[in-house]
Structure 1
Amino acid sequence: MTSYVLAVDLGKTSCRGSLRVDGGQTRYAEGRGSPALANAGGVAAAEHAIRAVIDQIAPTTPFVLSVGAAGAASDPEAAAVLAQHLAAVRTISSVAAASVAVTSDAVTAHAGALGGSPGVVLTAGTGAVATAVDAAGRFTRVDGWGPLLGDEGSGGWIGSEGLRAVLRAHDGRAPRTALVDAVGELYGITLDELPKYLGQQDNPTLIAARFAPFVATAAATDETAATIMTAAGGALARTVLAAIDRSGIRPPVPYAITGGLLKLGAALLDPLDHSIAHAIDRRAPLGDPIDGAALLALDPTTALEALVARIV
């Protein structure tokens, strides 16, 4: 029997959707992300972002909708509500989802990267979280607490630290940094306008995260930027090592890293890799979070099933 799966990866930066027929992608769409599900209005924002991607793909046959959403691990009730809302969604051609599965984007990242096998996966994008699954299927999550309480070393964290450093330099509380000029280049505003500009945004963490590549680039020649990137790598390393320790998996632990922060390169990855090399068995990711969502869509027997909200 032919399987139709619409796998969705909903992050704070973007929402990506892939329509797969018998495992092969036939259509793809991408739109804006949304704040974490646990945020005020998070479910409504997530539903809006997912609906926009579904409308772009426009399935014409009933499909299994499988979503990995940022913040679902922190608020399983919100994930269940989102699943209920999505079960009522109809496409432009009046086709509805035959069933719906919603889980955390960290869970789909783990499933995609290690294919359901034990190990640790670090997902580092606008936010940051490490997930571990042991041989008995026990699931451990470290960080992913959002921009106010955690996500240390993430794109949002790096960008925010960079912007804080810029304002310290602007005030004379710290030496001047090359990052000062980057603010105007990226945002087209003066430093005095920065707080108001961020305060007016629906998702200020996403806006701050856009500054992270500038920090990474400047790290080669700017001491302030280099310090931030080293601190980010160290923070991510502590997250990975804590996940290993709490999971009880004996090193060397199968490990993979996924997410947009890979694009920041050596400025971030060198300090991270140096700190965790003794504890990991590095693996190339088998797939990305969309692949993980597609896997979980059709297989309710994985060790991750307890973390999935399903509407059948």
Structure 2
Amino acid sequence: MSAAEQTTHAPTTQSTEDEDDEDLFDTNLFEEPEGFRPSTPPPTYETYTRNPSNVKQNTPHTLDIQKMGARDSLWAHRVWNGSLVLAEHLDCDKTKTQGKRVLELGCAAAIPSMLSAINGAECVVATDYPNPVLMKTIARNLETNCPEQWKNGTLKLVPHQWGHEVQEVLAALPDTTRKFDVIYLADLIFNHTEHRALLTTCKAALEPGPQSAMYVYFSSHVVKWAHKDLAFFEIAKEEEFGFCVEQFDKVKATAMFPDDVGDLEVRETVHCYRMWLPLK
């Protein structure tokens, strides 16, 4: 066979080998079979019923709450006791929010945010971790239960990761004359590694002065770590943050995890704190 003939026939031989390889190789090898990954669980629903004595004319008696359908690292699939007790306090004493600029961190079900909007806050900014499914769930709750406030911009939703810059959060305010008058932290401080990040956001967002307030409501769900929960307030008083701290109430509720170990009374107690930044 001549060199020319070898050149002519070589591509044909290679093509045949490639075709054989393709026949042997399953091109669908890396396709996931149907049902390989479990589907996202559907959302669940819960009705929050207000105390009738707190309901003013032309305001809703109940809130329709959609929750994420599965437990996740954000713990946003539950309505927490701290949030429920805070909501009751705010609904009972509307002066805490009327005409105020309100920020809720880690809002999840966002019940305190919605009640603040319903009860006449100047503006309410609900925030939580920028997870798309979580953001969609919260937005649904805000729009469903507070359609007027959602439409006119009195009630807004802003994604925010604690400790990051707060420009987007502050940009949701109606103007720059002052920052937030009130900040809510409901059952957040069990995230012990995030205490400084939480306080960084709070210090950057709260208007200084005794007229402003951070309301921190929580239970020690894990009794052996109760001291770690309380460390939040010691860190808050450090020079880096400079918060004033006072505990003003304790409320007994049903334990979130009744079968867990540890003193039941500790796990049933919701602690209520107020914090503020002194004027320089």
TM-score by length of 2: 0.32
